[in-house]
Amino acid sequence: MTLLCSCCLVSVSSPVGPPALLPLYFQWYIFYFVIQRKKWVDLAWMMTFYARLFLTYVPLLGLKGCLGLFFIVRFLESNWFVWVTQMNHIPMHIDHDRNRDWVSTQLQATCNVHKSAFNDWFSGHLNFQIEHHLFPTMPRHNYHKVAPLVQSLCAKHGIEYKSKPLLSAFADIVHSLKESGQLWLDAYLHQ
């Protein structure tokens, strides 16, 4: 059962997944999607980005340097993206549908990372993942304002509101991946 929002759905099943996610797959898929759906205005805007990129950096770095810079930045961005989006989702244990209400399901599927200036900056305010799931159209910089209201609502109705330190969230990702890897190893190598 997948309870992730569309901006949070990511595959991190191999060491190649995160580094290649944005530089290769997303770049290719974005063009594929736009052309397949005949979104010609979107394609035109995308092409203006690449035109500006090449017009700005090819004279300074040459074609190889420009492509190298583009893919290095995308490589770093993809690793950051995977850690930021998964620290609030992977460690959460979701079993079978228990016919819970929508709010309880969102709170069970996600957790927050403690507020701090660094965490807010590093995650782009997505350390407030609970609020992100409850209010997906709210500007991210306002999540900290609604968090106390959500916490009091959870306390009032006996719903657990989970928040953890950043390093604990990262450790949970590694632990969850190790757990998943062991399940796959057992399933395919029968050890």
Per residue in 37-87, pLDDT (tens digit) is: 999 999 999 999 999 999 999 999 999 999 999 988 888 887 888 888 888
161, two tokens: 């509101």
The answer to whether the CB of 53 falls within 8 A of the CB of 70 is: yes
Instruction: Give per-residue pLDDT as tens, 162-191.
Output: 999 999 988 888 888 888 888 888 888 765
* Distances in whole angstroms, Cα of residue 110 to Cα of each of 13, 90, 180, 181: 20, 9, 18, 21
Task: Name the pTM for this structure.
Answer: 0.67
